A and B are shown apart, each in its own frame.
Chain A
Amino acid sequence: MVVFEKPHALTDVPMHYCPGCTHGIVHRLVAEVIDELGIEGKTVGIAPVGCSVMAYNYFNCDMIEAAHGRAPAVATGVKRAEPDNIVFTYQGDGDLASIGTAETVHSAARNENITVIFINNAIYGMTGGQMAPTSLPGQVTQTSPYGRDVKLCGYPVKVCEMLSQLDGPEYLERVAVNNVKNIKNAKKAIKKAFQNQIDGKGFSLVEVISSCPTNWGLTPQNALKWIDEKMIPYYPLGVYKDRSAAKEETK
Chain B
Amino acid sequence: MSEKVLMKGNEALAEAAIIAGCRHYFGYPITPQTEVAAYMAKRMPKIGGTFLQAESEIAAINMVYGVSSTGHRVMTSSSSPGISLKGEGLSYLAGSDLPALVINVQRGGPGLGGIQPSQSDYFQATKGGAHGDFHMIVLAPASVQEMADLTVKGFELADKYRMTSMVLADGTMGQMMEPVSLEYDIKPAPEKPWATTGTKMQREHNIINSLSLVPEELERLNIERYKRYDEVEKNEVMYEEYMMDDAEICIAAFGIAARVSKNAITEARRQGIKAGMIRPITLWPFPKAPFKKAAKSVKQFISVELSMGQMIEDVRLATECRVPVTLCNRVGGMIPSPEMVLEAIKEAAKNGGAR
Contact = CB atoms under 8 A, between A and B. Distances in A.
Contacts of A11: 205
B58 A70 contact: yes
Contact of A42 (B65, B67, B198): B198
A77 B24 contact: yes
B210 interface: yes
Interface in A57-80: 57, 59-67, 70, 73-80
Contacts of A44: 69-70, 196-198
Interface string B253-266: 00000000000000
B89 interface: yes
B200 A41 contact: yes
Interface residues on A, range: 35 or more
B319 interface: no
A126 to B, nearest CB: 11
Contacts of B66: 46, 64, 73-81
B72 interface: yes
A198 interface: no
A22 interface: no
Contacts, number: 134
Given A41-B202, A64-B209, A102-B56, A81 B62 contact: no
Contacts of B207: 56-57, 62-65
B55 A62 contact: no
Nearest to B208: A64
Nearest to A59: B205
Contacts of A25: none
Contacts of B54: 73, 106
B64 interface: yes
A81 B22 CA distance: 11
B19 interface: no
Nearest to A53: B211
B196 A62 contact: yes
A13 to B, nearest CB: 11
Contacts of A63: 196, 205-209
B205 A77 contact: no
B211 to A, nearest CB: 6
A143 to B, nearest CB: 23
A139 interface: no
Contacts of A105: 55
Given A66-B62, A70-B59, A82 B197 contact: yes
B74 interface: yes
5 contacts: A66-B62, A77-B24, A77-B68, A85-B70, A102-B55
Give 3 nearest A-B pairs by CB, closest first.
A77-B66, A73-B62, A62-B196
